[in-house]
Structure 1
Amino acid sequence: MSVLELVEADFRAPTLIASVENTKPPATVVDSAEQLVDQVIKAVGKNIVLGAPLAIGKPISFVNAMYQRAKADPTINLRIETGITLEKPVGKSKIERNFLEPFVAREFDGVPDIDYILDLRAGKVPSNITISEFFFKAGSFMNSPQQQNYTSTNYTHAVRDLLDKGVNVIAQLVAKRTVNDVTTYSLCSNSDLALDLIPEMDKLKAQGMPLAVVGEVNTNMPFMRNHAEVANTEFDFILDGNSKPDHKDYSLFAAPHGSISAEDHLIGLYACSLLKDGGTLQVGIGSLSSALTYSTLVRHQNNRMYNSMLSDLNIYNKFPVCKSVGDSGKFDEGLYGCSELMVDGFMHLYKAGILKREVFEDLTIQTLINKKAISTDVSLATIRALLEHGAINETLTTDDVTYLKRFGIFKPYIKLVDGNIIAQQETASANLSATDTLEWLEKHALGEKLIGGVVIHGAFFIGPKDFYDDLNNLTDDDHRKFCMTSVNYVNDLYDHMLGNQQIKQAQRKHARFVNSGMMVTLDGSVISDALENGQVVSGVGGQYNFVAQSHQMRDSRSIIKIRATTFRNGKLKSNILFNYGHNTIPRQLRDIVITEYGIADLRGKPDHVVYTELIKIADSRFQQQLLADAKAAGKVAKDYQIPKEYANNTPEAIQQFYKKYTDQGLFGPFPFGCSFTDQELKLGKALKTLKAKTATTSGKIKAIANALQGPKLDHNTEILLKRIGLNKPASFEEKITQKLLIAELTK
């Protein structure tokens, strides 16, 4: 429920920060970033610890102005605490830069650079400034001094850590709306930390600590309601340049549509088989998330073909966990999303009528719905069930009427006066034991549908441009169902100011917490954030929280998706390993692991089963070595052999299955749209293939030898080479590179 609805209603919903009874003064509004920096320094001094949210929630105008002020004034000590600093892609080589520059100019038009990240890359951050992150954009700081400034923490502990680090300024991008002269702001893409941080900052302010809470308005940011909508008193300062006649808010960073490989589609298909109709879904980001979304849509919209695919994979015989844990039918009851990251896939599921299971901020109502004692359709049965379970009194009180109106069980104009229920001009006794009262309620008082139901709770969002457009175009009814909220509410089951553990557990029935990993060891430990030498690839984020949470609810499962193989230093390697020097998820929390070759059900299993189940879903080129290592360690019986039905885990088998269904119009690399032109797709594929082939010295020699004997330059290939400035090579190296690309482009 939004702040505006609270103002207009005669009851109080359990929103917290967005309280109309707040006694704090309204924010000071300024129209320039420089002026805001002056105000913040005046408020907190020159020792500034700035907390900024991850991804698109960073207030770039303010952050850049503060950074540049500190660069110019060495008496300012600035530390920026944040996560996932987004960057426009920049090629390492001349060819990569030539390929990317037109694409970046088109896709990121109007998106400003973040000054501190440019200086980090160039090694130009002055000594009075430190940038520390708790989550890197995946792979962005490998072999970088920035590894030294990484803070390893669970997402749910980020607020605690920011406070421990002495953060005295928090700032984020917000949206603004004014209705009936009431101005509110939305935490939009990043309600994740602010909903918990602001009350803590208020407590510290009350103790006399100089602190500042800052919002930067951007009209391109989708205005999200419910928990994300807060009063203007929650901020000390608001930067809003829209009063200036020539001002134009910058564009949001939008993630381009990525491609989905055949292997990723298979992983998504296997993961989809574990989803339960009427259940709960958490997903991560990237192509593996998109692949799961796609298969879920196929299951609902083309169920016959979906089941044909499962039959071809012999999924129920090979992986019986699908039958005991999952479903294969359409989503009649639908899914509820409880996801740290709200990706565009949830919007696709919502439009398709899959993301439709509504949850409610009331334990009695949610429990009765789970038991199917009531539905979202309001009837006298709703009243009887609430009465039977003690949610309302037999003789209705004012609180009862408020409660019934809050959830749409009573129409909004119903009142209780002197022991009578009044509906406009009609009146009846408030005693529910009277038959006449129940008949009167059915005729005059009952609403049609429960209200206040939410189909997704998310903590932050980022996605492609069309996702932002969809969010900006939500109707009022849609808005009520999308709730951006605290990451502590989403990622944990513990009691929270927005809902206690009992409500969360009731809402999250049949939860499937789906995340991605890099590698898994045969004992079931998962590696998702860093390498064994300590180098951090990304971060823990919320993965550990979701895995731990899944073990707290009997009907919930943690699902980790991992590609079976990868190229490291030019050599093909298995991502299923015998052992590794680091893990993100320990073996005692092992559950379900999926590769493109199938599903390993590990929870509660003895080690010999865990080891063999993971070997069954490894690439066959590595299975025998993994088995030998397991036997040598005494973890698998000496006479164990891999069953033949699991011994054909090859790329060729994947491609055979994939082609059968792409020929029928399914799958494909870009089912949700493509950000690249046809030219860019051809060039990108050739460059990627060539990079893999020449990653080793022997591979480079072989590729050059083949290219020198390859086809000559034709007109169509010349046009492609011109796009990356290689149609007229100037050096020997460019001539060789041209030959290599011609060989790839003319295949």
Structure 2
Amino acid sequence: MSVLELVDTNLTTAPAKEESATMAKAPAKEFAEAEELVDQVLKTVGNNVVLGAPLAIGKSVTFINALYQRAKTDPSINLRIETGISLEKPVGKSKLEKNFLEPFVEREFAGVPDLDYMMDLRKGAVPDNISVGEFFFKAGSFLNSPQQQKYTSTNYTHAARDLFEKGINVITQVVAKRTIDGVTTYSLCSNSDLALDMIPEVDRLKAQGRPFAVVGEVNSNMPFMENHAEIPANMFDFVLDGNLKPDHKDYALFAAPQASISPEDHMIGFYASSLLKDGGTLQVGIGSLSSALIYSTLLRHQHNDTYKQLLQDLKVEEKFPVTKTIGETGTFDEGLYGCSELMVDGFYHLYEAGILKREVFEDLTIQTLLNKKKITTDVSVSTLLALLEVNAIQKQLTKHDVNYLKRFGIFKPEVKHTDGKLETDGQTISGDLTDKEALDMITKHCLGNKLKGGIVMHGAFFIGPRDFYEALKNMSPEDHKKFCMTSVNYVNDLYDHFLGSQQLKQAQRKHARFINSAMMATLNGAVISDALENGQVVSGVGGQYNFVAQSHQMRDSRSIITLRSCSFRKGQLESNIKFNYGHTTVPRQLRDIVVTEYGIADLRGKPDHVVYTELIKISDSRFQQQLLEQAKAAGKVAKDYTIPVEFGNNTPDAIRAKHKQYLKQDIFTPFPFGCSFTDEELQLGKALKSLKVKTATPAGKLKSVLNALKAPKPDQNTVTLLKRIGLDNPQNLQDKITQRVLISELSGKKK
């Protein structure tokens, strides 16, 4: 259902001083020039501006930059920007990284504007009258930065509340625009997440006399998302639309390049895919772990024999019996329904493959009947009788009943109800469902073919690669209606919401698998996803806590945390499964399932000694003994416990050996969904990434330099790579050493 059906397009708000008369909201005033819009906003709210802007690609860059530059040149304006995930084009730190990235960025981010406040933040050039606060950082973007002091830790579902408490008086975001039969509507597109809840609250504050401006910025490159995301023109006060000018061209959207999927990530995705249940619900996040899960889910559906052979080869059901109790290994005949704060491109891949196809409906009775298999999405007389049996409609159909049946496609749209009779196809039919003759006539003349209004995906915001945006733009009208961008509070929580009750949401989200990634986990089952133990914030809580908590509220749902078993930090290899850690994102009492490249730990409802040992089993073997000794010393594991032999070879070498076998069958390839890099860039990127790890310590740097002295003469391919990265003709000693080190690394990668 569209928000247009929930609100009158002549929205009214009570004027100040609670006068009894109401005032219809006028359509948004349109501006072609950003400077004129800034003038109007300042005239509306004054020179103390607290600007709320959404996550990621939903930011109205042209307006925000114009407002920022105005405040930068006029110190009488106090500007505070409150937002999350301020996107930046990749910029290398070293000369080598810059040389690698500049041609890539020029190609992949052509036409994408920078956020001026981010450029100044990086240079330390933000003036005193402007500040920027965020509630979610782009991962790792502000470590060791003064921005750490301006971070607000909050659940995504509380972001709108917190923005109002911060005193925002301007909210803004990018929108798409269309006019049909003279009626203009806007789409919240990539970010329906906060606006759907904020705009009604803004109207309430305006009615109390508080100055406020709601600003949209049209970008025709945005996919026009329908359903909840489509809103009337008068939900904005002002709209910036550069397309009102001749020859205007909207800027390109920030697109996330496809990341490679490592062998370890593929294993994590494969194990997680065995926990999905046909007919269930799926939530995933962004990144290579998410892509790996999507890939294995596609493999399970499209090449099921191969998938089952891999399960057998890895002894998944034998080693991890939870896959038999909550998961499945067959194809997705009923299909999955997506319910995820972030709609990644993987959901579109699942839709194209016929996996994301379980439709949910905005009606508790219909959804419950579907869940109980009393009806299907195919309409028949049985649909009518099932609704009658549960008293959803009356024996003698009323006008209300007919409208209800038409809304969901059970009756054809042309059916009319007049004086207790049904009129359609030139027929006048009794509305008495107990009359067999009337029922036969209704079946023949009134029934539709399929239930209408089914949704396969509810999301709150999206970001992804360029081809994902194009796919969304080019979907057929029928496909578009199945994707619903909506409020983050609708998706991330189970509480009653104006878009759907808790009962409805629970009915829709059967067999949910809420899959989130983490940085670390502790042996007691706590999860660390957003910050370090010294307090430095890496990213943010976002919706992770909400989804984990939600999974515990529904009987057949599970929270699944995906986690790489170890990683390099400051040049040192560390286990990501820790005995303890000085920060927690998700507390241990909400522990459930954890998946690493070495398997699955089922923790929910288990005593501590089981939790500790299950996590040790899926840890890297280089750290298992130390973790076990710490657990025993704390009295959490029996002194005589030993790690089962089948979990004693959890090593990268074992993963790589298996992966090499699978690659020969064209399984678990690094870029199954396309690659944004050239072959040269892939070779260089792999070498640079390896060198970064090897040279993270002084000893590592020395060893790399010594190895470089023995490097062979570069071949033609290496010469080409050196030219690509600007090292074909080094001019100083530092560059000459760097060249030799890189030649050594590139020659080593060929072996």
Unaligned runs of 5+ in 1: 7-12
Partner of 2:405: 404
3-state secondary structure, aligned to 1:373: coil
Q: Given that residues 52 and 171 in structure 1 are in contact (C-alpha distance below 8 angstroms), is that contact kept between their aligned partners in structure 2?
A: yes
Partner of 1:255: 256
Question: What are the equivalent positions in structure 2 for 1:65-76 lying under 5 Å apart?
Answer: 65-76=66-77
CA distance in 2, matches of 1:715, 1:290: 35
CA distance in 2, matches of 1:95, 1:123: 23
- State yes or no: 1:109 paired with 2:97: no
Partner of 1:342: 343
> Residues 351 and 18 of structure 1: is their aligned pair in 2 closer, same or farther, counting only changes over 3 Å?
farther
Partner of 1:356: 357
- For residue 179 of structure 1, report the CA deviation from its aligned partner: 0.8
- State yes or no: 1:478 paired with 2:479: yes
CA distance in 1, matches of 2:12, 2:306: 55
Partner of 1:696: 697
CA distance in 2, matches of 1:326, 1:485: 28
CA distance in 2, matches of 1:84, 1:493: 25
Partner of 2:182: 181
Question: What are the equivalent positions in structure 2 for 1:11-30 lying under 5 Å apart?
Answer: 13=5, 15-16=6-7, 23-30=24-31
Q: Given that residues 175 and 186 in structure 1 are in contact (C-alpha distance below 8 angstroms), is that contact kept between their aligned partners in structure 2?
A: yes
CA distance in 1, matches of 2:126, 2:235: 32
Q: Given that residues 566 and 573 in structure 1 are in contact (C-alpha distance below 8 angstroms), is that contact kept between their aligned partners in structure 2?
A: yes
- For residue 714 of structure 1, report the CA deviation from its aligned partner: 2.2
Q: Given that residues 10 and 25 in structure 2 are in contact (C-alpha distance below 8 angstroms), is that contact kept between their aligned partners in structure 1?
A: no
Partner of 2:602: 601
> Residues 21 and 456 of structure 1: is their aligned pair in 2 closer, same or farther, counting only changes over 3 Å?
farther
Partner of 1:144: 145
Partner of 2:323: 322
Partner of 2:631: 630
Q: Given that residues 173 and 217 in structure 1 are in contact (C-alpha distance below 8 angstroms), is that contact kept between their aligned partners in structure 2?
A: yes
Q: Given that residues 17 and 230 in structure 1 are in contact (C-alpha distance below 8 angstroms), is that contact kept between their aligned partners in structure 2?
A: no
Write the letter of the residue equivalent to 2:49.
I
- For residue 705 of structure 1, report the CA deviation from its aligned partner: 1.2
Q: Given that residues 11 and 234 in structure 2 are in contact (C-alpha distance below 8 angstroms), is that contact kept between their aligned partners in structure 1?
A: no
3-state secondary structure, aligned to 2:338: strand
716-725 vs 356-365, greater mean Cα deviation: 716-725
Question: What are the equivalent positions in structure 2 for 1:283-682 lying under 5 Å apart?
Answer: 283-682=284-683
393-402 vs 695-704, greater mean Cα deviation: 695-704
Write the letter of the residue equivalent to 2:731.
A
> Residues 541 and 355 of structure 1: is their aligned pair in 2 closer, same or farther, counting only changes over 3 Å?
same
Q: Given that residues 81 and 131 in structure 1 are in contact (C-alpha distance below 8 angstroms), is that contact kept between their aligned partners in structure 2?
A: yes
Q: Given that residues 379 and 442 in structure 1 are in contact (C-alpha distance below 8 angstroms), is that contact kept between their aligned partners in structure 2?
A: yes
Deviation per CA, 1:351-387: give whole Å up to 9, x if none.
0000000000000000000000000000000000000
CA distance in 1, matches of 2:392, 2:49: 49
CA distance in 1, matches of 2:501, 2:365: 13
3-state secondary structure, aligned to 2:206: helix
- For residue 702 of structure 1, report the CA deviation from its aligned partner: 1.5
Partner of 2:136: 135
CA distance in 2, matches of 1:19, 1:191: 21
CA distance in 1, matches of 2:738, 2:668: 33
3-state secondary structure, aligned to 1:679: helix
Write the letter of the residue equivalent to 1:262.
P
Write the letter of the residue equivalent to 2:721.
L
CA distance in 1, matches of 2:246, 2:31: 15
3-state secondary structure, aligned to 2:184: strand
415-424 vs 500-509, greater mean Cα deviation: 415-424
| Identical-pair percentage | 71
Partner of 1:267: 268
Write the letter of the residue equivalent to 1:456.
M
- For residue 20 of structure 1, report the CA deviation from its aligned partner: 7.5
Partner of 2:20: none
Q: Given that residues 18 and 229 in structure 1 are in contact (C-alpha distance below 8 angstroms), is that contact kept between their aligned partners in structure 2?
A: no
- For residue 681 of structure 1, report the CA deviation from its aligned partner: 0.5
> Residues 17 and 680 of structure 1: is their aligned pair in 2 closer, same or farther, counting only changes over 3 Å?
farther
Deviation per CA, 1:158-181: give whole Å up to 9, x if none.
010011111100000000001111
Deviation per CA, 1:528-578: give whole Å up to 9, x if none.
000000000000000000000000001000000000000011011000000
Partner of 1:235: 236
Partner of 2:713: 712
Partner of 2:85: 84
Write the letter of the residue equivalent to 1:103.
F
3-state secondary structure, aligned to 1:454: coil
Deviation per CA, 1:304-345: give whole Å up to 9, x if none.
000111111111111000000100000000000000000000
Structure 1 segments, 4+ long, off by >2 Å, are 15-23
- For residue 18 of structure 1, report the CA deviation from its aligned partner: 6.4
Partner of 1:10: none
CA distance in 2, matches of 1:58, 1:459: 15
CA distance in 1, matches of 2:523, 2:722: 46
3-state secondary structure, aligned to 1:365: helix
Unaligned runs of 5+ in 2: 14-23
Partner of 1:9: none
Question: What are the equivalent positions in structure 2 for 1:162-181 lying under 5 Å apart?
Answer: 162-181=163-182
Q: Given that residues 711 and 747 in structure 2 are in contact (C-alpha distance below 8 angstroms), is that contact kept between their aligned partners in structure 1?
A: no
Write the letter of the residue equivalent to 2:680.
Q
Partner of 2:65: 64
3-state secondary structure, aligned to 1:191: coil
CA distance in 2, matches of 1:349, 1:714: 43
CA distance in 1, matches of 2:496, 2:250: 38
3-state secondary structure, aligned to 2:505: helix
Deviation per CA, 1:648-696: give whole Å up to 9, x if none.
1001110111111110011111000000000100111111111111111
Write the letter of the residue equivalent to 1:636.
V
Q: Given that residues 489 and 499 in structure 1 are in contact (C-alpha distance below 8 angstroms), is that contact kept between their aligned partners in structure 2?
A: yes
- For residue 24 of structure 1, report the CA deviation from its aligned partner: 1.3
Write the letter of the residue equivalent to 1:335.
L
- For residue 36 of structure 1, report the CA deviation from its aligned partner: 0.4
Q: Given that residues 279 and 335 in structure 1 are in contact (C-alpha distance below 8 angstroms), is that contact kept between their aligned partners in structure 2?
A: yes
Q: Given that residues 512 and 556 in structure 1 are in contact (C-alpha distance below 8 angstroms), is that contact kept between their aligned partners in structure 2?
A: yes
> Residues 717 and 166 of structure 1: is their aligned pair in 2 closer, same or farther, counting only changes over 3 Å?
same
CA distance in 1, matches of 2:12, 2:38: 30
**Structure 1 length-normalised TM:** 0.98
